[in-house]
Chains A and B, each alone.
Chain A
Amino acid sequence: MTTDTTTPDEILATPPGDLAIWFFIFAELLAFGVFFVAYAFARARHVALFNESQQQLDITSGAINTLVLITSSYFMVRAVAAIKQGLSRECARWIVAAIGLGGVFLAIKLAEFHDKFSAGISLSTNTFYMFYLSLTIFHFMHVILGMVILAAVMLKAKGGGYSAENHTGVETGASYWHMVDLLWIILFPLVYVIH
């Protein structure tokens, strides 16, 4: 693990966290990017169907979940700031709060899925729902993975495993979590709002 003694004014050669997570992040951006573009071009072939089906989505839930993920992401910024000062317990508390909001996101999304599945909607209902369900379930799984990563980082932070000089793991977990937020920031307007 590398040692970090950087200040906020320095230009870094590589992004915060382990460089490996950044290659993983870029691969994820590529995968989701293809998915987003495929959605847009599928919509171009079935505009009326997509617009009609989109109106059945709960835009309020989508918006609340955006606020939840953005805030959770901000909590991870605070967790990184705390560990950079060597405050392990404060860092762990911010991560717990970030994970908690991840749980809120999952609960709201599950309620949305429950509504749709109860109405008899499935992947095979139509092209819009095929995209809506696969895109959001794919993202949902990334939220779960992010929460598992953050839980591991939080336990290590709580046990004093990081310090002001050595906290690459916290930045690695935070970078992945910000990516999950970043993807939802595009997914929400694309699937719930634009028509």
Chain B
Amino acid sequence: MDTAQKRRFIRPCTFVWLLLMLLTVTTYLIGEAGLGGIAVMLAVLGTAVVKVQMVANYFMGLRRTRWLWRGIVLGWLLLVTGLITIAYLTAIK
């Protein structure tokens, strides 16, 4: 890997790192404000989905692999967060 390739490897990850920090602070502020309800739950869980995808695709490097590997992580993520959402909605009824 030469310097130009290193830059292409690191720059997107540095941007992702800063974005992850920003999204974490957003989730924290929502939590600190004590906000709740369906919309907030969907926003917070949606943020977590985006963050996990960023870690998997950029930090773990899955964006450079065949779709199968990204699909396994995305499938797991959507199944887990989908079931969490269903459980949350069940609790409201």
Q: Chain A: residues with CB nearer than 8 A to chain B?
A: 7-16, 22, 26, 29-30, 33, 36-37, 40-41, 43-45, 47, 51, 59-60, 62-63, 66-67, 70-71, 73-74, 76-78, 81, 84-85, 164, 171, 174-175, 178-179, 181-182, 185-186, 188-190, 192-195
Q: Which of A13, A22, A29, A59 contacts B31 (CB 8 A)?
A: A59
Q: Which of A30, A47, A171, A178 contacts B91 (CB 8 A)?
A: A47
How distant is A91 from chain B, measured CB to nearest CB, in Å?
12
Interface pairs (23), CB distance under 8 Å: A9-B8, A16-B60, A40-B88, A41-B83, A59-B28, A60-B28, A66-B27, A67-B25, A70-B24, A71-B17, A77-B13, A78-B10, A81-B9, A84-B6, A85-B1, A175-B60, A185-B20, A186-B81, A188-B27, A189-B31, A189-B44, A193-B30, A194-B41
Task: Give the residue name and chain of the B residue nearest to A83 (CB).
Answer: B1
Give the A-B contact count at a CB cut-off of 8 A: 157
Asked if B24 and A15 sit within 8 Å, CB to CB, the answer is: no
Residues on A with C-beta less than 8 A from B56 are: 178, 182
Asked if B66 and A13 sit within 8 Å, CB to CB, the answer is: yes
Asked if B5 and A7 sit within 8 Å, CB to CB, the answer is: yes
Asked if B52 and A81 sit within 8 Å, CB to CB, the answer is: no
Alpha-carbon gap, A82 to B84, bound state (A): 39
Asked if A81 and B59 sit within 8 Å, CB to CB, the answer is: no
Contacts A81-B6, A192-B31, A194-B88 given: A185-B55 contact, CB under 8 Å? yes
Alpha-carbon gap, A40 to B5, bound state (A): 43
Alpha-carbon gap, A181 to B83, bound state (A): 21
Task: Give the residue name and chain of the B residue nearest to A29 (CB).
Answer: B76
Asked if A84 and B1 sit within 8 Å, CB to CB, the answer is: yes
Asked if B83 and A37 sit within 8 Å, CB to CB, the answer is: yes
Task: Give the residue name and chain of the A residue nearest to B32 (CB).
Answer: A59
Asked if B44 and A8 sit within 8 Å, CB to CB, the answer is: no
* Contact mask for chain B residues 15-42; partner A; CB cutoff 8 A; 1 contact, 0 none: 0010011001101101110001000110
Alpha-carbon gap, A45 to B13, bound state (A): 40
Alpha-carbon gap, A7 to B6, bound state (A): 9
Q: Which of B25, B69, B73 contacts A29 (CB 8 A)?
A: B73
Q: Which of B9, B25, B32, B47 contacts A189 (CB 8 A)?
A: B47
The 3 A-B pairs with the shortest beta carbon distances in the complex, nearest first, are A40-B87, A63-B28, A193-B31
Alpha-carbon gap, A116 to B79, bound state (A): 32
Alpha-carbon gap, A73 to B40, bound state (A): 27
Asked if A40 and B84 sit within 8 Å, CB to CB, the answer is: yes
